[in-house]
Amino acid sequence: MVRTTMALLAAITIALAAPAAFAAAGDCNGDGQVDAADLDALVAANNTPAEGTPLTGCDYDGDGVISLADAAEHISQSR
């Protein structure tokens, strides 16, 4: 019982600490779907830091900033 509870708490902690790791590729807003809402989220976040936001996984060029270049890459990967 204690081991099961500890394992469950560890899994919850990991899931809360790293939501981007569990998101589908291209699901920038974390709603479980890759759609136009993800692109809208990228455009709305233009020129903002990616770290510490749900959009961290959609910083396609890895420069630490959500930009229109990331939105363009999102479009090309969604095709």
pLDDT tens-place string over residues 45-69: 999 999 888 888 889 999 999 999 9
pTM above 0.75, yes or no: no
pLDDT top residue among 35 and 8: 35
Confidence of residue 77 (pLDDT cuts 50, 70, 90): confident
Q: Which helix (H) or strand (E) holds 48?
A: strand 48-49
**Cβ atoms within 10 A of the Cβ of 35, count?**
14
Mean predicted confidence (pLDDT) in 29-52: 90
Q: Would you state the CATH architecture of domain 20-78?
A: Orthogonal Bundle (1.10)
Domain ranges of the chain: 20-78
Mean pLDDT of the chain: 77
Q: Can you name the residues that pair with 48 across neighbouring β-strands?
A: 66
